[in-house]
Chains A and B, each alone.
Chain A
Amino acid sequence: MTATVKAIVLTGFGINCNRETLRALRRAGADAREVHLTDLASDPAQLLEAHILAIPGGFSFGDHVASGKILANRLRSVLGEPMREFVRAGKLAIGICNGFQVMVKMGLLPLFEGEFRQEATLAWNDSCRFENRWVTLQVNPETPCVWLRGIDRIDLPVRHGEGKFIPASPDVLERLKRQGQAALRYVRPDGSPAAGTFPWNPNGSADDIAGICDPSGRIFGLMPHPEAHQDPTNHPLWTRWEYLPAEGPGLRLFRNAVEFAREQLC
């Protein structure tokens, strides 16, 4: 019998991609369930029993003040210690879009020294607009990111107003690059660097960075939405293809995590 991988999908307060994130984790083989933030805060043991935590996309607290900021503060305030323990135990976490903003603003990423510290931010897109468009992404072959294993290039939708990745200093960027933590980058459809050019890099992110991981590769955050490309018919060009694959490539990220958790954490 294969071991059960338990996953928690955080909900509440304007998180809104929970259903499809839940579905992706379940399709990947996890015993996944949605847990409302208040319920998790009142019973943090649930978090420690889980192997995977997903903070889905959405508009937590309306993105008021700054995207992800109020949820980040609340998580730190009501779940700070359990989260640290979760990380210390080598568990897996993914933050998608608003979830990524939350992770970066609460200092869960890039987690250079294992301490929560804000080292970067996700600022307003250069266009100063919310943008919904599909982008092509290149996985950094040097990355330790567990979630991206075996993926080279992938098309995913971005849907955000505040996705411009800005490191706090050139050192931070250097370190992210050196340690392979700059896991995912925006590229042109042919795979050549987007080099900051709109619309391939949709927000002006430094070094075309779309997603980063912690040094262990187990905690990962990204602006694009892998859960929104778990079916081939999600892709904008599927009607131009000769054949329709069985599933969308976004599912691969979740399969990677569940597989890793089953092997290493169960």
Chain B
Amino acid sequence: MRTDRIEVGVKPELTDPAGVSLVSRLRDDLGIHVEAARVFDVYTLRGDFTDEELERARAELFTDPVIQVSAVNCHLATDWDAVVEVGFLPGVTDNVGKSALEGLRDLLRRELPEEARVFKSTLYAFRGIDRDTAERIAEAALANPLIEQWRTLDREALRASGGRPLLALPLVHIPPAAAVETLSLDLDDAALLALSRDRMLALDLREMRAIQAHYAHPETRARRAALGMPADPTDVEIECIAQTWSEHCKHKIFSALIRYTAPDGTTREIDGLFKTYIRGATEAVAPTVDWLVSVFEDNAGIIRFDENHLFALKCETHNSPSALDPYGGAMTGIVGVNRDVLGAGLGFQCIFNTDVFCFASPFYEGELPPRLLHPRRVLRGVHAGVRDGGNQSGIPDINGAIVFHERFLGKPLVFCGTGGLAPVTAAGKPVHEKAARPGDLIVMTGGRIGKDGIHGATFSSEELHEGSPATAVQIGDPITQKKMADFLLEARDLGLYTCITDNGAGGLSSSVGEMARKPGGAVLHLDRAPLKYPGLAPWEIFLSEAQERMTLAVPPEHIDAFLDLARRREVEATVLGEFTDSGLLECYYGGKRVAALDMAFLHDGLPRMELEAQLDPQPPAGSVEVISDDLGADLKKVLGALNVCSKESFVRMYDCEVLAQSVLKQFQGELQDGPGDAAVIRPVPDSWRGLAVACGIAPKYADLDAGSMMACAVDEAVRNLVSVGAGLGQIAGLDNFCWPDPVQSEKTPDGRHKLAQLVIACETLYDLCVAYGIPLISGKDSMKNDYKLGDVKISIPPTVLFTAAAIIEDVRRCVTMDVKRPGDLVFALGETHDEMGGSEYFEIKGLRGGVPPRVRPLGFRRLYEQLNKAIRSGLVASCHDCSDGGLGVALAESAFAGGFGMKLDFTRIPDMPENPATTLFSESQGRFVVTVSADHFPAFKAMMDGLPCVFLGVVTEEPWLDMAFSDDLQVREHIDDLRNAWKNTLNW
């Protein structure tokens, strides 16, 4: 079979934007000066193509005749000083190569041999650097050794290579898979643990012993003997149990029995954090709302949107894969959470994405511990992965945040959320109900199975260490998934299946295992699963987390229609077996039964974890002396702080308009550059009913008080929603906990402390949800966010992302944060306390300690209700939530977004903190900046009666933010300077 190479580049006389952009990235990120760069696309074709066909492919498929030049088996970059070619390693998803092969088929109008392939690689050509510098660039910016291979050549070497491929063909060669093994469990404790470690099972001793006991039990033995199964477990069985019992799937820590010693010394038992506080909160709130439909049961939480539609919400993290391969990991995160929504109920259409990232500073200059990527590279890669995943799927990205803290160096956090919409019924059946029945066929649709993502579930249940597997990295394929999603929604509306779930962590073992619970069993033929390449062992087929796959239960009478529609939509769909009521999860390979797992043991046999929690003694929080001699300069510094500054250059690269439903966007105001508080969309055409979506996240307070971290996250999300016009009683919440390992052990000597922080956060979450009337409808936890290699251990600050969505009755009543007209009156709502701990102001001043903000929900609640009434009555011209950076930031943002100034008198604030810096920068919760036209002043004032609402001054035509703190302390800043300070830090 011949191999040929087609190189394509921009015509020499034209500018190559990719080259120009690379030059500036190398300068900014690595400080390397390159005179010029060009980027060439390389397609390596393997197949039985004739010379004429290759020429046609070059001219009609790969080359744009208007702007490009190209060549077959000939290098275009031979007069450049050095080149780097980067391509994938064998087995890594190559989306471009796959599409190119389809393009070839269309063009040549003939069937291509099964082994025909197109491999995409990229050739970077540089001028003004030598080979060694090019090699340094390749390692630091162009290639990731986990997924990519590369080769660096100087001019002479390239010329000498004669136009032939520069990289090894990334063909997968796997020795034929070993037969199914049986594993003896007749082992002592040390050997059990060694088995868990060597096979990457991530199970502890108690869990290994439970499996040992199950297989040693006379009943199990008798049953297995009757089935003709060996007494010892097969590798398929052990791997399936391990992944089903992984922290990732079973949430062992949130289910554990915890003995908690509170700061006051009292000790009590907590019967599962999830049950007590998460589900507990929802149960407490549920009687007060009438729109809950399905919570904690499905892939996503489901609520009623209107008479005819349901809304589903889910948010996931994809932290460990994103640490290893930021682009692929994050893309897999976003398309993965899309599948959760696609697989909720009988299937929801994804209508928006949200994304929140946590990184260390992109300006980090310290040593990088081994295996960690520079935060700047992680940021760029994660952002690009989420961008491509969302944009190519046609799902608008409507809300998000980028948060910075030094300890996210150890592990970045990548939260990907998705909302979905579905009609109340599909083909006459309630869309939120699903159940496979015995006799229904097990059908897998979408992508094929490869070695990618094997052990992903167990991998994410461990800290990042030297042996972290590269196979845990996957790259999403949004187009395969988009085709599948379109197809499945069609099939849903035709009533062709009874149950659907996605293949995420654990692959088929998890999706089939879960779906088999209701019918009570399943028979699965692993050898019928379509593979990307031969050589996978049966257990690998069962566990692979290869992306873009859904598992469905299709009644036999619908299977022909289902498969026919799949064929017409060019979606691969394969019958793998059927659901049964045998009580067993059975797998066959080559006609031989290779697993017969007792369903009851698989799902309920996991021994419960028992843990201890107690906070380490903490020094009492005290006030910190603050000296500020230039409040205006400080305000600009705070505006430019990483956690405050504009993220516009990143957000602009997300499509937020597709589906044409946007009402309030991320950027608002005269120049569309002010930070909106919450997104608002109108998901149902021809109805003014809307959805507001917001998030809150506050890891910076966690070290001072995990309760404050939690409370501020919830309150921020709620304030964001209230700011745009949402009301309490209409808000649904979703929690994503990301914690450092909280299990006391040799490698985690402070586990008790971290677990106590978790307890406190959960208690706080419960209290706030109950006080605000917010049911939690779904959530997720990721509990091993640590980096450990040798003596270096980095644990992330305990972090909770609180995502909230609210139904808005009429989106035309929504308000934005930009001030609207000169002459409008400016109010500060809420009370300012000396709560500078963890603040952005302390950050820029290098101060530690202090008191973090406290949320006082009972008082806040009334303010939120009255403010909502004022907004719905049309009294409010603009409203902006006060969060990171405090009142000063909220005022500045409101002013410059509107294009006007403000003249403000802070002496009007009763009990103003003595220090004006505290007034301006304290991050007290429960506050807003609101503007009201003079006409509406009396009605607004009346509505705020008895609430903390201070008239601060007026919006002015003159573009200056003018703030008086006393007779002799005035601060005056031009809004353009404030805007620039806010925009410059991350203006990439």
User: Could you tell me which A residues sit within 8 Å of B by CB distance?
Assistant: 11-17, 19-20, 23, 36, 38-39, 57-59, 61-66, 69-70, 73-74, 77-78, 105, 118, 120-121, 123-134, 157, 159, 166-168, 225, 227-231, 233-234, 236-237, 239-240, 244
Is A14 a contact of B652 with CB atoms below 8 Å?
no
Tell me the nearest residue of chain A to B24, going by C-beta. A128
Asked if residues B478 and A70 are in contact (CB atoms below 8 Å), the reply is no
> Out of B102, B662, B685, B820, which one reaches A70, CB within 8 Å?
B102
| Interface contact B99-A62, CB-CB below 8 Å | yes
User: Once bound together, how far apart are the Cα atoms of A234 and B690, in whole Å?
Assistant: 13
Q: Establish whether residues B811 and A233, one from each chain, have CB atoms under 8 Å apart when the complex forms.
A: yes
Contact of B21 among A62, A128, A231 (CB under 8 A): A128
Known: A69-B103, A73-B106, A234-B662. A14 touches B483 (CB 8 A): yes
- Given known A17-B658, A132-B652, A228-B657, contact A61–B102 (CB-CB < 8 A): yes
In the bound complex, what is the Cα–Cα distance between A110 and B483 (angstroms)? 30
Per CB-CB distance, the 6 closest pairs between chain A and chain B, nearest first, are A16-B394, A64-B99, A20-B660, A128-B17, A121-B66, A128-B21
User: Chain B residues with Cβ under 8 A from A105's Cβ?
Assistant: 64
Answer yes or no: B67 CB below 8 A from chain A CBs.
yes
**Which single residue of chain B is at the shortest CB-CB distance from A16?**
B394
**Cβ contact within 8 Å between B66 and A166:** yes
The listed residue (A14, A57, A128, A225) touching B392 by CB distance below 8 A is A14
Give the chain B neighbours of A124 by CB distance below 8 A: 17-18
- B820 and A159 contacting across the interface, CB-CB below 8 Å: no
Given that A73-B61, A227-B660 are known contacts, is A38 also in contact with B568, CB under 8 Å in the complex? Answer: yes
When chains A and B are docked, how far (Å) is the Cα of A114 from the Cα of B203?
Answer: 69
Interface centre among B65, B99, B569, B654 (most CB of A within 10 A): B99
Does the CB pair A130–B391 fall under 8 Å? yes
- How far apart are B393's CB and chain A's nearest CB, in angstroms? 7
Q: Within 8 Å of chain A (Cβ to Cβ): is B48?
A: no
Which residues of chain A have C-beta atoms less than 8 A from B569's C-beta? Answer: 12, 36, 38
CA distance A58 to B668 in the complex (A): 25
Are A59's CB and B479's CB within 8 A?
Answer: yes
* CA gap between A127 and B486 in the complex, in Å: 32
Question: Which residue of B103, B568, B682, B820 is within 8 Å of A240 (Cβ)?
Answer: B820
**Contact mask B380-399 → A, CB, 8 Å, 1/0?**
00000001000111100000
Cα-based distance from A201 to B147 in the complex (angstroms):
37
Cβ contacts under 8 Å, A14 to chain B: 392, 394, 478-479, 482-483
- The reply to whether A234 and B816 contact each other, CB–CB distance below 8 Å, is no
Residues of B within 8 A of A39 (CB): 568
- Chief secondary structure at chain A's binding surface: mixed
Residue of A nearest to B660 (CB): A20
The closest CB in chain B to the CB of A119 belongs to: B66
Residues of A within 8 A of B387 (CB): 130
Size of interface on B: residues with Cβ below 8 Å to A: 63
A166 CB contacts on chain B under 8 angstroms: 66-67
Q: A20: shortest Cβ distance to chain B, in Å?
A: 4
A16-B658, A38-B570, A228-B657 known; A131+B62 contact, CB < 8 A: no
State A237–B568 Cα separation when bound (angstroms): 43
Instruction: Determine whether B717 belongs to the interface, using a CB cutoff of 8 Å to chain A.
Output: no
Pairwise interchain contact A231-B103, C-beta atoms closer than 8 A: no
Q: Whole-angstrom distance from the CB of B821 to the nearest CB of chain A?
A: 9
Closest Cβ of chain B: how far from A22's Cβ, in Å?
10
User: Are B100 and A65 closer than 8 Å at their CB atoms?
Assistant: yes
Residue of A nearest to B39 (CB): A128
Chain A residues lying within 8 Å of B315, measured Cβ to Cβ, are: none
Q: Which of A20, A36, A65, A229 contacts B96 (CB 8 A)?
A: A65
Instruction: Report 7 cross-chain contacts, Cβ distance below 8 Å, ordered by A residue.
Output: A13-B479, A69-B64, A120-B66, A126-B17, A231-B682, A236-B668, A244-B812
Query: Counting CB contacts under 8 A, is B60 at the interface?
Result: yes
Contact with A along B450-470 (1 / 0, CB 8 A): 000000000000000000000
Known: A39-B568, A64-B100, A240-B669. 20 other contacts (CB 8 A): A15-B394, A17-B660, A20-B659, A59-B482, A64-B95, A64-B96, A64-B99, A64-B479, A70-B99, A120-B66, A125-B17, A128-B18, A128-B21, A131-B653, A159-B391, A228-B657, A233-B812, A236-B665, A236-B668, A239-B668
Bound CA–CA A57/B814 (angstroms): 29
**Which B residues from 133 to 167 make CB contacts under 8 A with A?**
none
Q: How far is the CA of A131 from the CA of B64 in the complex (A)?
A: 22
Give Cα A113 to B820, complex, Å. 52
In the complex, are the beta carbons of B654 and A19 less than 8 A apart?
no
A78 CB contacts on chain B under 8 angstroms: 106
- 8 A Cβ contacts from B641-699 to A: 652-660, 662-665, 667-670, 672, 682, 685
Which residues of chain A are within 8 angstroms of B67 by Cβ–Cβ distance?
121, 123, 166
In the complex, B107 has a CB within 8 A of chain A: yes
For B483, list chain A residues within 8 Å (CB).
12-14
Query: Which of A130, A159, A240 lies at the interface centre, i.e. has the most chain B CB atoms within 10 A of its CB?
Result: A240
Chain A residue with Cβ nearest B349: A19
A residues near B682, Cβ cutoff 8 Å = 231, 233
Q: How far is the CB of A31 from chain B (nearest CB, A)?
A: 17
Instruction: Tell me the bound Cα distance from A225 to B99 in angstroms.
Output: 25
Cβ A239 vs Cβ B815 within 8 A = yes
Asked whether, in the complex, the Cβ of A12 is within 8 Å of the Cβ of B656, the reply is no
Closest to B817 in A: A239
Closest partner residue, chain A, to B811 (CB atom): A233
* B372 interface hit (Cβ, 8 Å): no
Closest to A104 in B: B66
The answer to whether B106 and A70 have CB atoms under 8 Å apart is yes
Verify if B207 is at the interface (C-beta below 8 Å from A): no
B657 lies within 8 A of A132 (CB):
yes
Q: Which residues of B contact A77 (CB under 8 A)?
A: 106-107, 109
B425 to chain A, nearest CB (A): 19
**Complex contact A130–B653 (CB within 8 A):** yes
Given that A64-B100, A132-B652, A240-B818 are known contacts, is A233 also in contact with B20, CB under 8 Å in the complex?
no
B79-99: which residues lie under 8 A (CB-CB) from chain A? 95-96, 98-99
- Given A38-B568, A168-B66, A233-B811, A62 and B95 touching (CB < 8 A)? yes
Report whether A59 and B391 are in contact in the complex, using a CB–CB cutoff of 8 Å: yes
Contact A132 B656, CB 8 Å, known A65-B62, A123-B67: yes
Measured between beta carbons, the chain B residues less than 8 angstroms from A134 are 672
Give the nearest-CB partner of B41 in chain A: A65
B478 / chain A contacts, CB cutoff of 8 Å: 14, 59, 62
Name the B residues within 8 Å of A133 (CB-CB). Answer: 652, 672
Q: Is the CB of B17 within 8 A of A127?
A: yes
Question: What sequence of 0s and 1s flags, for each residue 18-56 of chain B, a beta carbon within 8 Å of any chain A beta carbon?
Answer: 101100000000000000000001000000000000000
Query: Within 8 Å CB of B656, what residues of A?
Result: 132
Contacts of A228 in B (CB 8 A): 657-658, 660
Contacts of A236 in B (CB 8 A): 665, 667-668, 672
B391 in contact with A61 (CB, 8 Å): no
Query: Are A118 and B660 interface neighbours, CB within 8 A?
Result: no
Partner of B394, one of A17, A66, A127: A17
Distance in Å: Cβ of B322 to nearest Cβ of chain A: 20
A70 with B486: CB separation less than 8 A: no
Residues of A within 8 A of B665 (CB): 236
Contacting residues of chain B (303-328) with chain A, CB-CB under 8 angstroms:
none
Contacts of A38 in B (CB 8 A): 568-570
Q: Is the CB of A123 within 8 A of B64?
A: yes
Q: Provide the bound-state CA to CA distance between A62 and B479, in Å.
A: 6
Measured CB to CB, the closest approach of chain B to A226, in angstroms, equals 10
A58, A63, A234: which contacts B657 (Cβ < 8 A)? A234
Chain B residues within an 8 Å CB radius of A120 = 66
Closest to B21 in A: A128
Q: Is A11 a contact partner of B486 (Cβ separation < 8 A)?
A: yes
Chain B residues whose CB sits within 8 angstroms of the CB of A239 once the complex forms: 664, 668, 814-816, 818, 820
Say yes or no: B99 contacts A61, CB within 8 Å: yes
Q: Residues of B contacting A130 with CB < 8 Å?
A: 387, 391, 653, 655
Task: Knowing A12-B483, A130-B391, A130-B655 are in contact, say whether A73-B670 is a contact too (CB < 8 A).
Answer: no
A53 to B387, CA, bound (A): 30
- Asked whether B107 lies within 8 Å of A132 as measured between CB atoms, the reply is no
Kindly state the separation between the CA atoms of A178 and B65 in the bound complex, as whole angstroms: 24
